[in-house]
Amino acid sequence: MKYYGTKNNKDYGFYLENFDNAIEITDEYWLELLDRQNKGKIIIPFNNNVIAVNETEYTFEDGVWKKLSSEQAQCKQLKIQNAIRINEIQSELNDLDKKRIRALAEPSLKNDEQTWLEYYNTQIIALRQELEQISE
C-alpha cells in the first residue's frame, strides 16, 4: 500500500507510511498513476481519491481541485497555447534582430528585388502582428 497526500499542506506526494488525511492506494494503482504521469498527466487529490488528469481539465482554487466545464477547459488550453506561442515568437524576434544587425553591417541582396534587411523586417512585422493578436 501507498499513501498520497501532504504533510505540510503544500507538497503532495506518495508515502509508505500512513498519516492524517492521507489517501490509501494500492501498489498497482500507484504504478498506473506513475505511468499516466509519464504520459503527461498530473496527479491530484479529488473527491477523496487520487487521479491522473490533463492539466487543462482541473483548476486549483482556494486549496481545492475543481473540475472545469468543457468551455473553461478549452479557454485554459488556449491560454496555455498562447503563452507557449508568445515565447516562441519572442525567441524568433530575438533571432531576427541578430540577423538584421548582420544585414545592416553586410548589406547584400536576398534576391533581385529585396535586401536581407527588408526580408527580415517583413518577417518581424508579421510576428509582431501575430503577437498582438494573441496577447489581447
**The predicted structure's pLDDT at residue 8:** 80
Q: Tell me which DSSP letter residue 55 carries.
A: G
**pTM of the predicted structure, to 2 decimals:** 0.63
- Domains in the chain: boundaries: 2-66, 69-135
Percent over 70 (pLDDT), the chain: 100
- In this model, does residue 64 exceed pLDDT 90? no
**What is the rounded distance in angstroms from the CA atom of residue 31 to the CA atom of residue 105?**
58
For residue 11, the tally of other CB atoms under 10 A from its CB is: 8
- The radius of gyration of the chain's CA atoms, rounded to the nearest angstrom, is 24
